[in-house]
Structure 1
Amino acid sequence: MNVIKLSLSAIALSIPAVSFTAYAQAQAPMTNKEIDAQYKADEKKCDGLKGDQKDVCQKQAKATRDNAKADAKQAKEQAESRHDATKKKRDNDYDVAKAKCDTMSGNAKDTCMADAKTRYGK
């Protein structure tokens, strides 16, 4: 009985993770080429319309394009920011490791410094 409860719990806990992954992939920003291609396709849909309907259709196509480009820019900036933060953390951790190594002497210090350089990519 406990095995069944555990299995059901494991399944129930894994469903949100799978759903989130699918959602994240669906929300991935498009590249500029993809955005431009989608914009051209959306504009073609407007060709058969006339008057106000065509104007609204074109404005919607432009708004969709501009929104997608804004999302792509934001995603790029977030990725760069994450990279910068990760680098800064690694540099800080390396500084701490060096300080710890400085408390040693001789071969132990040399080994410690070599390990720190290897670990933190220096």
Structure 2
Amino acid sequence: MQNLKTLTAAIVCASLLPLSAAFAQTMNKADHKASKTRISADYKTDKAACKVQKGNAKDICQEEAKAAETKALADAKMGQEIGDAKKDAASEKTEADYKVAHEKCDALAGDAKASCVTAAKGKFGKH
């Protein structure tokens, strides 16, 4: 029985190890979906490992499996939201820099101004 608990704990821990490294970086939508699929598969495996146990030990095992799934899904959601926030922030910063560059062009006239505006649009992808 003790060996089974140790095995179950090892399975749960092993399934969570890749998550900590994976969520240190942000995820795109495809990574997020793949992560959720992997988390679901890990949960099913962990829960199946609980079937051999009896009584309260089985209940504890199932709760631990569910808790591991819940935590992993929360980390996946956080990784996705951080990625989205970083994209939004980068876009807003670029737009702010473009507005400053465009405003600097207003101090110029004629061909110099047109050239300046064209250069600013090119630099910030505003074609």
One of 42, 63, 67 as aligned partner of 1:63: 67
Q: Which one-letter code corresponds to 1:61 in the other structure?
A: A
Identity %: 40
Instruction: Determine the structure 2 residue equivalent to 1:54.
Output: 58
**CA offsets 1:7-50 (integer angstroms, 9 cap, x no match):** xxxxxxxxxxxxxxxxx985213711011011011011111111
The gaps in structure 1 that reach 5 residues or longer are 1-23
Instruction: Determine the structure 2 residue equivalent to 1:115.
Output: 119
Offset, 1:121: 1.4
Q: Once superposed, what is the RMSD of the aligned Cα atoms?
A: 1.7
Q: State TM-score, norm by structure 2.
A: 0.73
Task: Please tell me whether residue 88 in structure 1 is matched to residue 82 in structure 2.
Answer: no
Alignment of 1:4-83 (within 5 A): 27-29=21-23, 31-83=35-87
What stretches of structure 1 move > 3 A for 4+ residues in a row? none
- Structure number with higher relative contact order (C-alpha < 8 Å, ≥ 6 residues apart): 2
Quote the Cα distance in structure 1 between the aligned partners of 2:107 and 2:37.
55
Distance change >3 Å, CA 32–CA 58, structure 1 → 2: same
Distance change >3 Å, CA 94–CA 104, structure 1 → 2: same
Q: State TM-score, norm by structure 1.
A: 0.76
Tell me if the contact between 2:105 and 2:116 (Cα under 8 Å) persists in the aligned partners.
Answer: yes
Distance change >3 Å, CA 102–CA 118, structure 1 → 2: same
The gaps in structure 2 that reach 5 residues or longer are 1-17, 24-31
Instruction: Determine the structure 2 residue equivalent to 1:105.
Output: 109
User: Across the two proteins, how many residue pairs are aligned to each other?
Assistant: 99
